[in-house]
Amino acid sequence: MRKLLFFIGLCLSLSLNAEVIQKRNNEGDHFVYIPDETPKNILVIAHGMLSKIDKASDVAKKYISRWVKYADKHGLLLIAPVFDTSRFGNLGGGFGGYRNLFGKFVPADEFVNKLVSRYSFQTSSGSKRFYLYGHSAGGQFVNRYVVTHPDKVIHAVVSAAGRYSYPTTSSKWPYGAGNLSKNLKWKDGSKNRVFISKSLRNYALAANKVSIVIGSKDIKSQPKRPAHSGNTRIEIAKSWALEMNKNAKRYGVNGIVNVNVIQGIGHSSSALTPHCANVLFGG
């Protein structure tokens, strides 16, 4: 009898173990992880650029899996959008899909907003404000999301991005805050038109919401882009932080974008993840 009760108890315990689950929808897929204990807040995880052989769902799952131990430790519900090529992919000509907040059926930032709204009631805070992390192309998504929606972010960390949106109207979105009017053409030939107008005040408000983490060995030269200053990801990160901080002062915002250079690490999302967690949650 004791053995039977032990077996039943073990089965119940196992059934309660949290796991990473994939959800599918026409607008876009995502992975979610909900700890056994009610989480307090949400962390959204933006994966890096896909190679020609990568499957977006595999990459998103790999990224979210790295954060599970931090979710359990800090009480976080994890969401990892699947930014696949067909719905959020690279459009060419510098207009890189989700990293610039574009999407075929729904803009990438609005896709994230919908996901957060969907899961916010499962947190103890019930808040639709959330933490945000992204590496490389995902880091581009993060910096552009936070200057667009600073009110929705508790704190964000940009991991090793190579491009940013600078707080200047002299360069068009996505490299600056200047207005952009463009027809987007997707791989299947479908089109949608975007008109984007950004507020420099939002860039100022973002300055106390975002930090940068980058490896000291991440020194490969980056392609030249409008508004950008510097050759490597480190140099560009520091120049963006400087301009963001100057803009914050112009609006009387007490915010400082910090650049955390981690010694001995290159362009590695896995190696930088613990340092990003430390910036967001203290380890």
Task: Tell me the percentage of the chain whose pLDDT exceeds 70.
Answer: 93
Domain that holds residue 264: 19-281
Domain count, the chain: 1
**What confidence score (pLDDT) does residue 2 get?**
46
Q: Considering the entire predicted model, what is its pTM?
A: 0.92
Average pLDDT over residues 212-221: 97
- Residue 1 confidence (pLDDT) above 70: no
| Domain-located, residue 9 | no
Residue 213: φ, ψ to 5°:
-125, 130
| Domain-located, residue 101 | yes
Q: pLDDT tens, 192-202? A: 899 999 999 99
Average pLDDT over residues 261-281: 98
- Are 140 and 240 in contact, with CB atoms under 8 Å apart? no
| Domain-located, residue 85 | yes
Q: pLDDT tens, 111-127? A: 999 999 999 999 999 99
Task: Tell me the percentage of the chain whose pLDDT exceeds 90.
Answer: 82
| Domain-located, residue 1 | no
Q: pLDDT tens, 39-76? A: 999 999 999 998 888 999 999 999 999 999 999 999 99
Q: What CATH number should be reported for the domain holding residue 48? A: 3.40.50.1820
Average pLDDT over residues 29-41: 97
**What confidence score (pLDDT) does residue 179 get?**
98
Tokens of 228: 């950008």
Q: pLDDT tens, 124-175? A: 999 999 999 999 999 999 999 999 999 999 999 999 999 999 999 999 999 9
Contact residues for 6 (Cβ-Cβ < 8 A; gap 6+): none
- Residue 218 confidence (pLDDT) above 70: yes
Q: Is 262 exposed, middle or buried (CB count within 10 Å of its CB: 0-12, 13-18, 19+)?
A: buried
| Domain-located, residue 6 | no
Average pLDDT over residues 197-222: 97
| Domain-located, residue 3 | no
Least confident of 34-38, 150-154, 189-193: 189-193
**What confidence score (pLDDT) does residue 191 get?**
87
Q: pLDDT tens, 92-103? A: 666 779 999 999
Q: Is 169 exposed, middle or buried (CB count within 10 Å of its CB: 0-12, 13-18, 19+)?
A: middle
Rounded Cα distance, 48 and 1, in Å: 52
